[in-house]
Amino acid sequence: MLKDNLVGKGLVLSFITDFFKEYLIDNSLDDLISILKRGKVEDNLLEFFPSTKRTDESFSEHFTKEGLLALVEYNEKKIFDVKLKEMKSALTTQITEETDMSEVIETVKQRVKDAKLPDVEVVRILWDVIMDAVQWSGKNQQQNVLQFFNCIKSSILYGGLVKEL
């Protein structure tokens, strides 16, 4: 199915679209995703598109036009989750390496702009990254509470990060 000439002519996309439509008449999106995962194509659906149309926008536009909104929403959620993970990973690396605050701020601003992430998700990621940066090695609850307050105190430094955003 992934022969270049068939993909380029749009025949594969047409076939896969018809298959998805027919399958979803009697089955759920979860069932379809399960089949795609078993076939190891869930993460490669753009390969069914001609090379000039292998973008997330083309994916959304095509399947929306074909009435497969659930598939579009699933794909958008998957893309969103990947962007969140990438941002968290980048911030974790920067904070672990004690990168200059202005560089961390710039990273956050750029990723928020590129991914169009909502503020609530950005704050959640920042909180998670800052809390994960703390060594929670206290042997008792009092030590952990002290570490927590030290973390909050150091987070105030990163508070400039939230304020900047």
17: nearest Cα among 39, 37, 40, 1? 1
Whole-number pLDDT of residue 114: 81
Whole-number pLDDT of residue 139: 64
User: pLDDT by residue for the chain (165 residues), tens digit each?
Assistant: 777 778 888 888 999 999 999 999 999 999 999 999 998 988 888 999 998 898 999 999 999 999 999 999 999 999 988 888 988 888 888 878 878 878 888 888 888 888 788 888 888 888 888 777 766 665 666 776 676 666 666 655 555 555 555
* 3-class secondary structure, 17: helix
Q: Which two tokens stand for residue 68?
A: 């497969």
113-152 burial code (b ≥16 CB/10 A, e <16): eebebeeebbeebbeebbeebeeeeeeeeeeeeeeeeebe
Q: How many residues make up the chain in this entry?
A: 165
CA distance 150 to 165: 23
